[in-house]
C-alpha cells in the first residue's frame, strides 16, 4: 500500500499499433519518479493510462489504492498534459482560479500556484500573449492548484530557461518532501539525475525501474546517458534471443 | 452536478466571452442590423386588411431564429476549441462533471442570448414599430429558450466534428432544414404531409409557433406553454445525449 501507482502487465494499442507492451512497475509515494524515454516511446500514453483517460487493452493500474480512472481519484490526481492546455483567451490568474474552483480551492491557492511557477508578474496577462515557456508554466500552475496527492507531469520543463528549470525541480522535491507523489516525464537525460527513481521506457517496453544510483551501478558507468544506452543494448540482445526462440516454437 | 463547479464553469465561459470584445459587438449588433434589412425589404409591401403586416410576421419569427442560429454556431466552435486545445481532456480529469460543463455552456450562452434578444427586440419594437398582441417579455423569454436550444444542439453536434471544417458543415445539416420547415416560408399546415411530419419532428418549429402565439394572443396560451415545454424537452434530450457522447477515456 506504500505505492502511489501499481501497474501490472499494461497493454495499450493506438491506431492499430502496440504502444505499451506489457509494462509492470510501481511508483513509490512521496518521491519524484522520472519517466524517461525518447519521443514516441509511450510516455504520454502511459501517463494517460494512469490518469484514466486512455482506453487500455489489458492489465491493471492501481492509483492511490483504487483502479485508475475511478471518479474519486479526480480530486486526488493532478495532470499536466504535454501541450499546454489552458484557455488562451483568459489571463493566467483567471485560468488558475477556474481550475482552483474545480478542486474546491479559492483565490489564495490560485494566486499562490501562479507565484510558485514564477508567473506572478504575468498573472494579469492573457495566456495567448505569453511565450511558449510561460504558457506551459501557466498550465503547470493549473495542475498544481488543487494540491493533489499525486501529480502526473508530462514534460513540464520543456522550453524553460535553466534557472527556472532548477527552480521547478526544487519545487517538485519540496512537494515530494511534503508527501506528494510526482511522476514526471522527460526526454532529456540530464533531468534523470534529479529524480529519486527512474522508469525508462523504449518502444513501449520498460527497460529500467530503479534509482539513478542503482542504474549507474548496474550498467557500470557514471553517466546516466551511457548507462541507458548499455541497458538498451543489453535489452535488445535479450529480445533477439526471445524472438528467435518464439520463432522456433511456432515452426 | 455540483453547483460550485457549475457556477465556476459558467463564469469562466462568460469571462472568455468578455475578453473577446469583437464577438460581443457582433452578437449584439448583427441581429439589429438584419432586422433593419428586413424592415426595409417589406416597407412597401401592401398589407391585407385585418392581418399583421409582413414585417410584423417575419420580424417576430426572426427574433427566435437569430439566437438559435448564432448560438448553435458559437457553441459548436467553442466546444471544438475545448477539444482541440486539450482543455476538454484536462477538464475530464478534474472533479468537473460532464453536465457541469454542458449546463455551464447552456447558462453562459443563454445569458449572452438574453442580452442579444433584449437589444434585438428593443430595436424591433421601438424603432421599427413591431406590434404583437402578447408582451415583449414573453418574446425575449422564448428567444432565450431558442438560444439554449441552439447551444444544446451545438454541443451535441460538436461531438461528431473533429475539425472546424466539419463543425461548420453541421449548420446546413442541422439548422437550415429546421429554418426551411419552421413555418416562416410556407405555413406548416399548407405543406405536404411528409414535410409537415418532418416539421413536427424539429424542435425549432415549436419555438417559432410559440412566438406566433405571443404575436396573436394578448395572454400566454396553453399552446404556447406546450410549445415551450417541447423545446425545453428537446434541450434536455440533446444535453443528455451530448453528455453520453463525451467520453472520459479515448483511444
What mean pLDDT do residues A163-168 have? Answer: 89
Report the pLDDT value the prediction gives residue A238, as an integer from 0 to 100: 65
Q: How many CB pairs under 8 A join A and B?
A: 73
pLDDT band at residue A240 using 50, 70 and 90 as cut-offs:
low
Task: Search chain A and give the residue with CA nearest B4.
Answer: A101
Residue-range domain boundaries for chain B: 3-245
Q: Is A25 helix (H, G, I), strand (E, B) or coil?
A: strand
pLDDT band at residue A106 using 50, 70 and 90 as cut-offs:
very high
**Cβ pair B15:A74 closer than 8 A:** no
Residues of chain B in contact with residue A85, where contact means CB-CB under 8 angstroms, are 85-87, 89-90
A48, A86, A89, best to mutate vs chain B, most B CBs in 10 Å? A89
The pLDDT tens digits of the residues spanning B91-100 come to: 999 999 999 9
Report the pLDDT value the prediction gives residue A235, as an integer from 0 to 100: 73
pLDDT exceeds 80 at position A244: no
What mean pLDDT do residues A190-201 have? Answer: 90
Residues of chain A in contact with residue B94, where contact means CB-CB under 8 angstroms, are 74, 99, 102-103, 146
Any A CB within 8 A of B251 CB? yes
Report the pLDDT value the prediction gives residue A222, as an integer from 0 to 100: 85
Chain A nearest CA to B16, separation (Å):
6
Report the pLDDT value the prediction gives residue A247, as an integer from 0 to 100: 43
Distance CA A78, CA A103 (A): 10
The pLDDT tens digits of the residues spanning A18-44 come to: 999 999 999 999 999 999 988 888 999
pLDDT over 90 for what percent of chain A?
67
What is the residue-wise DSSP string for chain B?
--HHHHHHHHHHHHHHHHH-HHHHHHHHHHHHHHHHHHHHHSTT----TTS--HHHHHHHHHHHHHHHHHHHHHHHHHHHHHHHTSHHHHHTTSS--HHHHHHHHHHHHHHHHHHHHHHHHHIIIIIS----SS-HHHHHHHHHHHHHHHHHHHHHHHTT-SSHHHHHHHIIIIIHHHHHHTTSSS-GGGS-HHHHHHHHH-HHHHHHHHHHHHHH-SS--HHHHHHHHHHHHHHHHHHHHHHHH--S-B-
Would the CA dihedral through B224, B228, B233, B234 be positive or negative? positive
Any A CB within 8 A of B93 CB? yes
C-alpha cell at A111: 494566486
What mean pLDDT do residues A78-89 have? Answer: 93
B8, B77, B94, B100, best to mutate vs chain A, most A CBs in 10 Å? B94
Q: Measure the N-to-C terminal CA separation of chain B; round to a whole number of Å.
A: 26
Report the pLDDT value the prediction gives residue B201, as an integer from 0 to 100: 93
Report the pLDDT value the prediction gives residue A16, as an integer from 0 to 100: 87
pLDDT exceeds 50 at position A245: no
CB atoms within 10 A of CB B220: 16
**Cβ pair B248:A14 closer than 8 A:** no
pLDDT band at residue A239 using 50, 70 and 90 as cut-offs:
low
User: ipTM, 2 decimals?
Assistant: 0.88
In which residue ranges of chain B is pLDDT below 70?
none
Residues of chain B in contact with residue A79, where contact means CB-CB under 8 angstroms, are 90, 93
Report the pLDDT value the prediction gives residue A249, as an integer from 0 to 100: 42
Amino acid at each position: 500500500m506504500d505505492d502511489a501507482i501499481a501497474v501490472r502487465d499494461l497493454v495499450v494499442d493506438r491506431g492499430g499499433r502496440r504502444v505499451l507492451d506489457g509494462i509492470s512497475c510501481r511508483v513509490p509515494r512521496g518521491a519524484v519518479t522520472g519517466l524517461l524515454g525518447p519521443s514516441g516511446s509511450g510516455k504520454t500514453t502511459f501517463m494517460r493510462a494512469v490518469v484514466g483517460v486512455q482506453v487500455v487493452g489489458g492489465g491493471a493500474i492501481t492509483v492511490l489504492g483504487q483502479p485508475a480512472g475511478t471518479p474519486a481519484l479526480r480530486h486526488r490526481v493532478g495532470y499536466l498534459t504535454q501541450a499546454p492546455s489552458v484557455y488562451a483567451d483568459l489571463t493566467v490568474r483567471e485560468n488558475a482560479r477556474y481550475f482552483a474552483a474545480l478542486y474546491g480551492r479559492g483565490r489564495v491557492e490560485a494566486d499562490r500556484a501562479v507565484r510558485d511557477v514564477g508567473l506572478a508578474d504575468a498573472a494579469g496577462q492573457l495566456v495567448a500573449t505569453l511565450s511558449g515557456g510561460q504558457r506551459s508554466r501557466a498550465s503547470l500552475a493549473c495542475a498544481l492548484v488543487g494540491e493533489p496527492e499525486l501529480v502526473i507531469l508530462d514534460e513540464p520543463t520543456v522550453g524553460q530557461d535553466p534557472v527556472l528549470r532548477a527552480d521547478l525541480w526544487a519545487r517538485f522535491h519540496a512537494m515530494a518532501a511534503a508527501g506528494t507523489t510526482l511522476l514526471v516525464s522527460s526526454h532529456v537525460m540530464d533531468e534523470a539525475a534529479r529524480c529519486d527513481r527512474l522508469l525508462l521506457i523504449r518502444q513501449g517496453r520498460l527497460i529500467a525501474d530503479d534509482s539513478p544510483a542503482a542504474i549507474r551501478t548496474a550498467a557500470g558507468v557514471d553517466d546516466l546517458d551511457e548507462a541507458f544506452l548499455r541497458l538498451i543494448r543489453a535489452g535488445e540482445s535479450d529480445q533477439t534471443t526471445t524472438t528467435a526462440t518464439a520463432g522456433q516454437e511456432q515452426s | 452536478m455540483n453547483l460550485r463547479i457549475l457556477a465556476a464553469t459558467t463564469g469562466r465561459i462568460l469571462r472568455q466571452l468578455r475578453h473577446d470584445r469583437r464577438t460581443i459587438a457582433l452578437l449584439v449588433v448583427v441581429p439589429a442590423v438584419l432586422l433593419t434589412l428586413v424592415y426595409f425589404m417589406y416597407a412597401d409591401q401592401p398589407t391585407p386588411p385585418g392581418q399583421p403586416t409582413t414585417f410584423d410576421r417575419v420580424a417576430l419569427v426572426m427574433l427566435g431564429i437569430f439566437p438559435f442560429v448564432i448560438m448553435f454556431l458559437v457553441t459548436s466552435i467553442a466546444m471544438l476549441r475545448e477539444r482541440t486545445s486539450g482543455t476538454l481532456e484536462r477538464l475530464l480529469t478534474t472533479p468537473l462533471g460532464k453536465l457541469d460543463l454542458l449546463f455551464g455552456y447552456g447558462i453562459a450562452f443563454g445569458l449572452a442570448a438574453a442580452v442579444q434578444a433584449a437589444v434585438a427586440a428593443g430595436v424591433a419594437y421601438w424603432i421599427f414599430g413591431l406590434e404583437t398582441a402578447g408582451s415583449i417579455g414573453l418574446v425575449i423569454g422564448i428567444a432565450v429558450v431558442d438560444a439554449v436550444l441552439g447551444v444544446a444542439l451545438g454541443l451535441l453536434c460538436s461531438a461528431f466534428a473533429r475539425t472546424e471544417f466539419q463543425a461548420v458543415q453541421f449548420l446546413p445539416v442541422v439548422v437550415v432544414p429546421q429554418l426551411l420547415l419552421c413555418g416562416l416560408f410556407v405555413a406548416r399546415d399548407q405543406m405536404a404531409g411528409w414535410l409537415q411530419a418532418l416539421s413536427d419532428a424539429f424542435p425549432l418549429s415549436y419555438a417559432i409557433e410559440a412566438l406566433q402565439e405571443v404575436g396573436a394572443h394578448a395572454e400566454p396560451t396553453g399552446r404556447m406553454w406546450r410549445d415551450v415545454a417541447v423545446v425545453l424537452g428537446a434541450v434536455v434530450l440533446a444535453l443528455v445525449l451530448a453528455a453520453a457522447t463525451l467520453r472520459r477515456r479515448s483511444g
